[in-house]
Structures are given as C-alpha cells and as structure tokens.
Structure 1
C-alpha cells in the first residue's frame, strides 16, 4: 500500500512538473493597434449601425516605446537611418483596399512599415518583408513604395510612440505618427 501511495505521489509530481509553464515578464513596450475607421473591429461586431456600410481602410499593429526622459530623434533614433517606427518587430500595416499615399498606389495587403527620419522629413517605407525584428534585416529590394512627409512639431511631448488615424473626408484619412515633440501626418486616400 505504501508503495502505491509513493508511486502515485511521484507520478503526480512528474505530471505537475511536466505541465508547469513559465511566463516571461511583461514587455516594456506594449503592443497597440489602430484602425481607420477608428475601432472598426469592435464596431463591426458590437455596433454595426455606427459603421454602416463602410469598409475598413487600414489597420496598423505596432509597439509603443516610452520616452522615459530620453532624447529621442537624432539620439536614440538616429537621423538618416532606417528605423522600425516603434520597438521590437517592425509595425505591420494592413490595407483592406487599394490606397494612394503620397501619389503612390499601394495594393490591398499587409506590409512592414519602416521609416527614415531626419530633422525635416520622414521617408516611409512600405516593405513586403513581414515579421522582421527591428530594421536589422531591412532589404531595400523588398520595398513596395516609399513616401516622404514633412516633420511637424507637437505642442506637448508625447510620452509613448503613438499612431492614430483621423477622418479627413469620405475617401481620405490621415495617419499621425508621433513621439516626443515630433509628429508626421500621412494622408491616405482610396
């Protein structure tokens, strides 16, 4: 009887140990997602009258690093070098419909979004190379489009890198990207 209890105890310990899962700590740069129209996925499910017959235009998934008192552009993010526009993986932008950005037609689909920031303008790079960590494996041959937009200054510092969309008119939205006191506005039209 004692042998069966001991065997049962050892078997239970082995099963518990085999099923134990260790989770790593929380990432310091939380992932975020923005849609245009805003909250499209939520409204499609829970408030369909709010979106009516509108189709989604764009969704972006990205990581939001914090300023944490650091000098950002020109220091942490060097000018003139390819930057992943956030932290960790390069942001993934999904166009649900064909769009035009800066005179460049981009077909519906998923792309990595990279940038080359300078003091006066950013070059946005839409790349077919998805699932890349940072911009370390950036390959210019996989560019789908490049668009240049002017830099704007934010009146207040933006603590976490952020991307948001705003409606301009029935067929045009603006994607805003900002961090610290630097912003860019990217018009996107159908």
Structure 2
C-alpha cells in the first residue's frame, strides 16, 4: 500500500472515531446538569441528570407512587448546602447529600441521604440524614426535561406537569 492511501485511511479512521465520540456525548438521553443559588446566606447546589418526558406518563407511571425515586437519572442527584439549613423547618447540617423522593399523589417525602456518591438505584434508607413531607402542585407550564431551580423559597423540582417545592432557609 502506498503512503498516500495509508494517510487517507488513517484520516478516515480518525474522522470516524472523532465523529462517534462527539455523537455519543451530544446524544445522551439524560444529560448532566446543575444549578446553584442562595437561600438566605446559604448556597444550595444541585447536580443531577435530566431525563425527558418523551410522551410517557411520568407520575404514577414511569415514576411509581409509593416507591423511592432517585429524583433524576443515572447517578444519584446530589444537593450540597454550604451552611446548616432548615428544610421544611427541620435542621440539615452543611454537606453534600444524595437526594431521593417518595412520590405520592397528594404528598411527597423528600429524602436527604448521607451517601452522596452512588448510583441512583443504590439507595439505603439507613443512611438517611433527613426526611420531610412536601406538597406537589400543578406546574404553570409543561416541562419536557426534569429541572431543578434554587429560589428564594428553597428548591423546586419541575418535570412534566408537576412542581415539587421544598422550603429551605438558612439557620439564623
């Protein structure tokens, strides 16, 4: 084989490898995302993977009622607070926690778990740092992708036609 053909084949192979790598990264079904904001003087940061609705029935379907859900996709969603905070009036020490929920039709339990670095389905209730009850509400608009926001009120999970507010305030 002559040098010209060898170089052409090498460039073709390199292009295919680079093309495959770019499409594999860009086409992730549940891309990683993060959000950070303030609740008083406490900084709250959420790291999560964001699945899409894709025409599916989410609440009571893909995410069953009465079963612990990883509140995202892939690795466990994490919530970091840089100062002690009150979550729905209950004290949560500064730190990084995995974030799970126990969805219900009228009431949810949100869970801050001490094991932050874990695959989302490896939940161990014995590692819970805090569980609080919250009330979901209808979202003002449909959200195709799961998203989190940090607001003046605390944390807001939004997906499909539902919002789940979690009141978080800095400890005075």
**TM bucket normalised to smaller:** 0.7 to 0.9
Tell whether 2:169 aligns with 1:183.
no
Q: Which has the bigger relative contact order, CA under 8 A and spacing at least 6?
A: 2
Structure 2 gap ranges (5+): 1-5
**Aligned-partner Cα distance in 2 for 1:91–1:138:** 11
Post-superposition Cα deviations, 1:67-113, rounded to whole Å, max 9, x if no partner, equal 11111010001111010001111111110010000121011011000
DSSP-derived class of the 1:25 partner? helix
Partner of 2:24: 25
Post-superposition offset of 1:175 = 1.1
Post-superposition offset of 1:59 = 0.5
TM-score (norm 2): 0.81
Aligned partners of 1:35 and 1:56 also within 8 Å: no
Aligned partners of 2:44 and 2:150 also within 8 Å: no
Structure 1 gap ranges (5+): 1-8, 39-53, 168-172
DSSP-derived class of the 2:126 partner? helix
Post-superposition Cα deviations, 1:140-188, rounded to whole Å, max 9, x if no partner, equal 1100000110010113211100100112xxxxx3211011111111111
Bigger Rg, which one: 1
**Aligned-partner Cα distance in 2 for 1:55–1:186:** 17
Residue pairs, 1:28-177, within 5 angstroms: 28-37=29-38, 56-134=42-120, 136-167=121-152, 173-177=153-157
Post-superposition Cα deviations, 1:115-160, rounded to whole Å, max 9, x if no partner, equal 01111111111001122212x2211110000011001011321110
**Aligned-partner Cα distance in 2 for 1:65–1:114:** 15
**Aligned-partner Cα distance in 2 for 1:183–1:68:** 18
User: Which aligned segments of 4 or more residues in structure 1 are displaced greater than 6 angstroms?
Assistant: none
CA-atom RMSD in angstroms? 2.3
Post-superposition offset of 1:56 = 4.8
**Aligned-partner Cα distance in 1 for 2:98–2:151:** 21
